[in-house]
Amino acid sequence: DARVTQTPRHKVTEMGQEVTMRCQPILGHNTVFWYRQTMMQGLELLAYFRNRAPLDDSGMPKDRFSAEMPDATLATLKIQPSEPRDSAVYFCASGLVIWSDRGNEQFFGPGTRLTVL
């Protein structure tokens, strides 16, 4: 049963601490997305990768957020230093783009619920 996995599922930390969230995309998928969900803003794109290369990270606060794909089976989202306003659920999604001019179906992981005190 192929699915996107995310760790940790829950994280409580104090303001100023570093937070690292991890995502394992579905094997064979070539695109990975990071989204953030809050009550006020809903779901927002933070960053996405195609074939491990970052294509768009304009939705991410650059001064404290960073996203990487060390290899095809791992994507990371790091916040340093964390702030209370970063409290949200962070979702990773993956998909397979076969043609560059065609959108792909995205499959979401269960999310990481982050609370920054």
Partner 1 sequence: KQEVTQIPAALSVPEGENLVLNCSFTDSAIYNLQWFRQDPGKGLTSLLLIQSSQREQTSGRLNASLDKSSGRSTLYIAASQPGDSATYLCAASMNYGGSQGNLIFGKGTKLSVKP
DSSP 73-99: TEEEEEESS--GGG-EEEEEEEE--SS
Q: Which of residues 93-112 bind partner 1 (CB under 8 A)?
A: 93, 95, 97, 100-111
CB 38 within 8 A of CB 17: no
Decide: helix, strand or coil at residue 3. Answer: coil
Token pair belonging to 29: 């998928």
User: What's at 115, amino acid-wise?
Assistant: T
CB of residue 25 to partner 1, shortest distance in Å: 14
Q: Is 26 in the site for partner 1 (CB under 8 A)?
A: no
**Could you give the string, one character per residue 45-84, with x where binding to partner 1 holds by CB under 8 A and - elsewhere?**
x--x-x----xx-x--------------------------
Question: How many whole angstroms separate alpha carbon 51 and alpha carbon 48?
Answer: 10
CB of residue 103 to partner 1, shortest distance in Å: 3
Q: How many residues bind partner 1 (CB under 8 A)?
A: 29
Q: Is 28 in the site for partner 1 (CB under 8 A)?
A: no
* DSSP tag of 26: P
Residues forming the site for partner 1 (CB under 8 A): 31, 33, 35, 42-45, 48, 50, 55-56, 58, 91, 93, 95, 97, 100-111, 113
